[in-house]
Amino acid sequence: MAIIILTLALGILCAFISLRKVGSREAGLPPGPPTLPLLGNLHIFPTGFAHYKFTEWARKYGGFYSVSATLAHRLGEFESLVHQLKLGPGTAIVLTDAAAVKELMDKRSATTVDRPPMHIADVVAGGLNMVLARYTENWRTLRRTSHAILTPQASARHLPIQQAEATQLLHDILRRPQARERSSTSTLSNAVPFQSYYTHIRRYSNSVIMSVLYGKRSPRYETRETTAFFTAQHQWERVLEPGATPPIDLIPILKHVPARWAKWKRDCSKLRKLQRELYFGLVDETKERLDKGEENGSYMEEILTRQKEFGMDREITGYLGGALIEGGSDTTSSYLQSLILALIAYPEAQKKAHEEIDRVVGEHRMPTLEDLKQMPYIRGMILETHRFRPVAPLMVPHATLVPETYKGYVIPQGATIFVNAWGIFHDPELYDDPENFIPERYLLTENGTKPGVDGSDMRPNFPFGVGRRICPGIHLAQNSININAMNLVWAFDFKTDTDASGNPIEVDTFDYQKGILTGPNPFRCKITPRSVEKAEIIEREFLEAADTFSKFESGLSQEDKEFVAKSRAH
């Protein structure tokens, strides 16, 4: 009996010792926040705006540290794309150091290219969402194809529709009836309510990617495909929302629960249907045009023509288009909204931008991309917006395919890697006064870093991602950003709105949506044309863009046709 009791006691003691090790930081890992038994760092892991906490820890533990987790949890931060990320029983590595990012994510991209597992994304998109997909042969096919079609040369061919859509954005802000105060017939007195510019920008970004990808534009925010996209995207976000689904990646048996007892399965099924109807419907429309010989030079036409060469089947083709729509519709609009927010919050920067663009472009024409070469302050403003409010402050997490070592520390196989772009861009060791919007910093040094500080580990396209996961549509996105940044500064004054008593309503530069791709919440402002002549130029340029638009307006609904006719009426 004594032997049995002793054996039980030893077993309990061993179990206790073993459990005490669960949650502790494994030997060889880089330092990080103190852990608790069983929980690791779960008890202090941020559930929203994680880049703030990650940056705080970076200032304490360094630009290369680890976070331990032993239980499944959801990061509220990733409400746009990866709300259901689970670290599981493992480790996260947080990089808030440009040199570490360059070495691990760029130079060693072959081993840090994976994504953490996410069952929900697999259920909805069959593992074919290019942004969230694991490192598989399907992902490699998606990546090869996107790189083959989204070249700088191919992007240049789509400049006419980008420029035309950018002109409509100016026109929408200037003249669209529901976007104007009707207190006066004077163009100069028509201030745009805050809800209107917000949807105008979203229409622009969605219509550009629809046009260049499928050859079919959206002349208004209410266009069927645009409405269908944002409806599906909203449900995608809800399905991935923290708490919306059980911890499936931690407890795989939950995958086998019948749908009648699993609301998340029913929600995923509805969402999958919505996405497939939109994405594959657009593919089918493009194929019909090809069969009729009515090509207009869209990317999807090229993909369908070279399907066998690329190794693409119908499934991969549909989801490649879907991922590009999702990325193209969110990132550019969020960036432009942040730019407007910064110009309102920092009127001196706006004034300097106005002075430069007036000096180079003048009053009698709109800017062109060629003009940007002569506008160092505007170029600095564009880069500073990326730095000040990056669209993806933590990027989309990576995962390691094999164990890695860095500076004597071990990064385990399967570890989640966060690239803390926010923390790097707001590092006071790299940037003077990083919390403020100062375009002049890019006039002093190439990457905006402090004079005398080595900024060679930074690169201008860093906001678009790292390694083999860098945004494939970067050239298209940069053209959109450059065109619209110049147009908006040339055309409009952006100012704070006032309340009923005439007091200014200050904008909040920290009032941002949660999400891996984040933009400012709608804010009140006044947007007015800078002169009567500029307003007249916008009107004229919009009408002259009709020929460019017409190539992308087949298959419009009757309501869209009526809207187009009305908007182009003299």
Known binding site for heme: residues?
A: 471
Contacts of 239 (CB under 8 A, 6+ apart): 120, 124, 245, 264, 267, 268, 271
Q: Residues 555-564: contacts with CB within 8 Å, 24+ apart?
A: 555/216, 555/285, 556/219, 556/223, 557/223, 557/224, 559/222, 560/219, 560/220, 560/223, 560/224, 563/219, 563/220, 564/219
Tell me the longest C-alpha to C-alpha distance in the chain: 101
Which residue positions form the known binding site? Answer: 471
Name the DSSP letter for residue 106.
I
Specify whether the CB–CB gap between 398 and 419 falls below 8 A: yes
Instruction: Measure the CA–CA gap between 70 and 401, rounded to whole angstroms.
Output: 20
DSSP, residue by residue, 449-504: PPTTS--TT--TTGGG--GGGS-TTHHHHHHHHHHHHHHHHHHEEEEEEE-TTS-E
Give the SS3 label for residue 47.
coil
The residue among 305, 322, 314, 303 whose CA lies nearest residue 125 is 322
Total residues belonging to the chain: 570
Helix (H, G, I), strand (E, B) or coil at 27: coil
Under DSSP, the state recorded for 549 is H
Taken in order 391, 397, 400, 401, the sign of the CA dihedral is negative
Q: d(Cα 69, Cα 48) in Å, to the nearest integer?
A: 17
First to last CA, the chain: 101
Tokens of 414: 């399967």
Rg of the chain's alpha carbons, rounded to an integer? 25
From edge to edge, which strands make up the β-sheet containing 398-399? Answer: 64-69, 90-95, 416-419, 398-399
Q: Report yes or no: 486 and 162 within 8 Å, Cβ to Cβ.
A: no
Cα 292 to the center of its chain, rounded Å: 36
